[in-house]
A and B are shown apart, each in its own frame.
Chain A
Amino acid sequence: MLKFFLNKRFVFIVTIFSFCNSFAQSFENTNIFSPINRLKFGNYLYAEKDYLRALEEFREYLKAENNDTVRFKFADCFLRIGRYEEAAENFKSMFFNSSLEEEAKLQFFRANFLMSLNSSSDFYSFRELTEKEIYFSDKYSQHLKRLKFISHLFDNSILPDTNEFFSAFDDSNYTMIKKFYLMKKYPHYKSQTTAGLLSAFLPGLGKIYTGEITDGITAFAATGILAFLAVNNFNHHHNFRGWLFTGISVLTYAGNIYGSIASAQIYNAKIKFNFRNEIKLYFEQRDFLLPQINFLEK
């Protein structure tokens, strides 16, 4: 037996085998387009936040190997570059037979939420998804419930009950969430009818009601001066000028009412716009109160 192992031929075969093996490994390492090197480079690009290029590397790697982490990162690249639909699709493909099923569900809802936030004004389809049992995540159920509540602040849906709504948030966010909830439920809008009626009663008053004080005073002065000129010209028997100024003052008066209604509309649009921006900024800064997925940062 020992003789056989010391045999020249045996030593030669073992040497060839080991060199072939080391050559194959070496080739794998030095070929910068090998799957393993694609993965290394993809991870580097991902860390550099060059997601568009990273996803191409991950795509090439996944053609040769199947790896849950890489599939997850691949989907996450779509999410990071704002291709939410593709992100959602790729996360969805990990809902079964994957070790990252729960995380994939979380990211799936994140992608759908961001899709609604950036492309349309309502979150009905997003909320419908959260109701579906097959998408339910045990691990992140609280986070997803909270995300669903947050979505109510962004569209025109009916707000949930206060107890249910506030219970989903931590104490650290309670004050701001309560403020947003009340702002959403009782927005400080100005009534267009009130603005119009006030301006009909006293020119410029509707504008002052909507916060346009200078415009209000100007409208009052302009209508007043024109009316005075009309009366004054009639009193001095300058009938043509009297009628001319009457016409202009009527137009100014009507314009002042119309302007006040428009001003109330603009005021309300501004309130709505500012509110949306404020909550968007608040939740974006806090990543929509969703948990970080730790392995992505490594």
Chain B
Amino acid sequence: MKKYFFFFLLLSFPVNAQNLLEQLNYANKLYKSEKYYDAITEYKRLIFFDTSKTFSYICNFNIGKCYKAGGKLDDAIKYFSLAEVSSNNSAEKYRAKIEIVKTNLLRGTPERALQILNDIENSTEFSQNLDSLNYWRGWTFIFSDDWEKAKFYFNKFQPYHELAIISQNIIKEKYSVTFAKVISYILPGAGQIYTGHIFSGLISFGYNLLFGYLTAKSFSEDRIFDGVVIGSLLWLRFYRGNIQNAEKFVVEKNISISNRVLNYLQNEYRGDKP
């Protein structure tokens, strides 16, 4: 009789912990097979039934990662923040914070990322983990399109780090807006040629030469009205246009260089990235 009693007693006990562990494995499996929507549902289910909050950190963290993978970056930040709140130790908290930094970079809010990195540095809680802060600062400046500072922080993280070398190359490759504008003031079309738009530069030079000549000719022949009209409506318009074009081309070129590198970093770079 006794043995039957214990047998039933054993069966009637809730198997909650075991169930929850199975649920976590199931959700992880969905996450690994990139079924992010379903994975989020199962992590949320686990959070709901996990009354002791044992799996709270891992679930919130992974929900954040699912949202991040799905491009829902605001939601991702919300769940990484929940993970941070439910973290069990400073290492987990640090991991959640770094994910928030990375998601902020992808969201296009590098200022907020930098602020969080500064907060981490100023906090006494994370004193053992500061090495990688400069690495993420470097990334923050990449996303701010400030390659000088990016290079500085990557070098600080590790001298001659691959990303520091890439940043250095970008600095060399990028065009100067000031230089392009100054040479366009001196010689119309030169700024455009400097950015590789040779045909556009030559056309610009030709227009300025022609209308400059016509303006000068009108004034020399005492046709003041003609001189003023050609000078203001044609020559000055093309002269100003040449400077504006030079600036526009430099900006476009620089964006294209940055995008090319970001594309490379996204697809080819094997190190840790946002």
Contact A22–B12 (Cβ < 8 Å): yes
Contact B14–A23 (Cβ < 8 Å): no
> Contacts A41-B48, A50-B44 hold; do A23 and B8 have CB atoms under 8 A apart?
yes
Asked whether any CB of chain A lies closer than 8 Å to the CB of B107, the reply is no
CA gap between A19 and B48 in the complex, in Å:
28
Contact B12–A19 (Cβ < 8 Å): yes
Q: Which residues of the partner chain B approach A50 to less than 8 Å between Cβ atoms? A: 44
Q: Which residues of the partner chain A approach B11 to less than 8 Å between Cβ atoms? A: 19, 23
Q: Interface stretch among A29-37, A124-132, A265-273?
A: A29-37
A268 to B: closest C-beta gap in Å: 35
Sample (23) of A-B pairs whose CB atoms are under 8 Å apart: A8-B1, A12-B4, A19-B9, A19-B11, A19-B12, A20-B8, A22-B12, A23-B8, A23-B12, A26-B14, A29-B14, A30-B16, A31-B19, A32-B20, A32-B45, A32-B49, A40-B48, A41-B45, A45-B44, A50-B44, A53-B40, A53-B44, A56-B41
Contact B8–A19 (Cβ < 8 Å): yes
CA gap between A23 and B9 in the complex, in Å:
9
Interface residues in B186-203 (C-beta closer than 8 Å to A): none
CA gap between A71 and B41 in the complex, in Å:
21
CA gap between A31 and B49 in the complex, in Å:
10
- Further contacts, 15 of them, CB under 8 A, given A15-B4, A32-B45, A44-B48: A12-B4, A15-B8, A16-B4, A16-B8, A19-B8, A19-B9, A23-B12, A26-B14, A30-B16, A30-B19, A32-B20, A37-B49, A41-B45, A41-B48, A53-B41
CA gap between A19 and B4 in the complex, in Å:
10
Asked whether any CB of chain A lies closer than 8 Å to the CB of B5, the reply is yes
Contact B44–A32 (Cβ < 8 Å): no
Binding site for A on B (CB under 8 A): 1, 4-5, 8-9, 11-16, 19-20, 23, 40-41, 44-45, 48-49
Q: Which residues of the partner chain A approach B23 to less than 8 Å between Cβ atoms? A: 32
- Looking at chain B's contact residues, the main secondary structure is helix
CA gap between A20 and B11 in the complex, in Å:
9
Contact B5–A15 (Cβ < 8 Å): yes
Output the residue of B1, B5, B40, B49 with the most chain A CB within 10 A.
B49
Contact B1–A12 (Cβ < 8 Å): yes
B13 to A, closest residue via Cβ: A26
Q: Which residues of the partner chain B approach A45 to less than 8 Å between Cβ atoms? A: 44
Q: Which residues of the partner chain B approach A44 to less than 8 Å between Cβ atoms? A: 48
CA gap between A8 and B11 in the complex, in Å:
22
Q: Which residues of the partner chain B approach A19 to less than 8 Å between Cβ atoms? A: 8-9, 11-12
B149 to A: closest C-beta gap in Å: 40
B49 to A, closest residue via Cβ: A32
Interface residues in A54-77 (C-beta closer than 8 Å to B): 56
Q: Which residues of the partner chain B approach A23 to less than 8 Å between Cβ atoms? A: 8, 11-12
Q: Which residues of the partner chain A approach B40 to less than 8 Å between Cβ atoms? A: 53
CA gap between A50 and B44 in the complex, in Å:
10
Q: Which residues of the partner chain A approach B20 to less than 8 Å between Cβ atoms? A: 32
Contact B45–A30 (Cβ < 8 Å): no
A245 to B: closest C-beta gap in Å: 12
B153 to A: closest C-beta gap in Å: 39
Output the residue of A16, A19, A20 with the most chain B CB within 10 A.
A19
Q: Which residues of the partner chain B approach A56 to less than 8 Å between Cβ atoms? A: 41
A232 to B, closest residue via Cβ: B225
A76 to B: closest C-beta gap in Å: 19
Output the residue of B8, B14, B19 with the most chain A CB within 10 A.
B8
CA gap between A145 and B8 in the complex, in Å:
62
Among all A-B residue pairs, the 5 with the closest Cβ atoms: A19-B8, A30-B14, A23-B12, A22-B12, A32-B49
CA gap between A56 and B42 in the complex, in Å:
12
A22 to B, closest residue via Cβ: B12
B11 to A, closest residue via Cβ: A23
CA gap between A56 and B13 in the complex, in Å:
29
CA gap between A141 and B16 in the complex, in Å:
50
Interface residues in A1-23 (C-beta closer than 8 Å to B): 8, 12, 15-16, 19-20, 22-23
CA gap between A41 and B48 in the complex, in Å:
7
A44 to B: closest C-beta gap in Å: 5
CA gap between A211 and B210 in the complex, in Å:
41
CA gap between A41 and B51 in the complex, in Å:
13
